[in-house]
Amino acid sequence: MTELLIEDTGDGVRILTLQRPEKHNALNTALTQALLDALLDADRDAACRALVLAGAGRSFCAGADTSEFAGLSGDDPQAAFDRAELTTQLHAVFTQIAKPVVAAVHGNALGGGAGLALACDLMVVSQDARLGYPELRHGIVAAVVMANLVRQLGRKAAFALVATAQPLSGLDALRLGLALEAVAEGDVLARATAIAASMAAWSPQAMAATKRLFYRVCELPFADALQAGRDTNALMRSFRKVK
């Protein structure tokens, strides 16, 4: 079985499903690379206008596959660096591609799995899902995932999550503004796909410019953000409405 299932719904939405259910979709090197490649391929495909990221089986993603850690020991520092670099590229690509991505989160989304959910542009979560950063329980650090967590949740709440290792429920994620909707587990994928379809219906050019500007102004001082908005405002006059 392939570790990543890629499906097109026919209305511009592409569903990427992590396919390691026996491992709660833990991210090994092969799956991490496959997901990164699939996201880049989708960005180049004009037929794809929005994406949904889901997990097969009982969980969205349980984080990094710790069974690989033994092979990334200090005996080969380059291998450890290369693996960390691959993870970094995966988390960065969500803001770099033009297509919006909706996470469909159920079951466990822990460590790198929680980071993966937060890296998506929007999240639909099951009410009883578990999102959290249990790395300290295993003597390791919530490292690459921390950049997104701090930016999206704020300093105090983000530190509490990584320092106490206490998980959030789906309803907690909704209350904190991390999730767009919290629904029954059986409705997560359908709802995430419907939201993706609504965004796929917009002009691809306008959607891409909206996403690009959004992530740009997130990192800019206010005056610079206004100027970035001004530049996009002038640029969008050249857009043609896509039917």
Angle at CA of residue 30, ends 102 and 41, nearest 5°: 50
Residues 152 and 219 in one domain: no
Task: State yes or no: pLDDT of 240 exceeds 70.
Answer: no
Question: Does a structural domain hold residue 78?
Answer: yes
Task: From the candidates 7, 85, 135, 181, give the one annotated as an active-site residue.
Answer: 135
Residues 39 and 125 in one domain: yes
Task: State yes or no: pLDDT of 36 exceeds 50.
Answer: yes
CB 86, CB 29: distance < 8 Å: yes
Question: Does a structural domain hold residue 162?
Answer: yes
Task: State yes or no: pLDDT of 174 exceeds 60.
Answer: yes
Query: Which pLDDT belongs to residue 23?
Result: 95
The pairing of beta strand 50-55 with beta strand 13-18: parallel
| Structural domain range at position 107 | 4-200
Average confidence (pLDDT) over 198-204: 97
Residues 117 and 229 in one domain: no
Please, what is the average pLDDT of the chain?
94
How far is the C-alpha of 35 from the C-alpha of 97, rounded, in Å?
A: 13
Count of structural domains, the chain: 2
Greater confidence (79 vs 171) lies with 171
Question: Does a structural domain hold residue 93?
Answer: yes
CB 121, CB 100: distance < 8 Å: yes
How far is the C-alpha of 232 from the C-alpha of 165, rounded, in Å?
A: 41
Query: Which pLDDT belongs to residue 117?
Result: 98
Query: Which pLDDT belongs to residue 38?
Result: 98
CB 29, CB 92: distance < 8 Å: no
Burial category of 237 from C-beta neighbours within 10 Å (exposed 0-12, middle 13-18, buried 19 and up) = exposed
Residues 19 and 55 in one domain: yes
Query: Which pLDDT belongs to residue 77?
Result: 75
How far is the C-alpha of 140 from the C-alpha of 56, rounded, in Å?
A: 26
The pairing of beta strand 168-169 with beta strand 130-132: antiparallel
pTM: 0.93
| 185 annotated active-site | no
* CATH at residue 114: 3.90.226.10
Question: Does a structural domain hold residue 243?
Answer: no
Task: State yes or no: pLDDT of 243 exceeds 60.
Answer: no
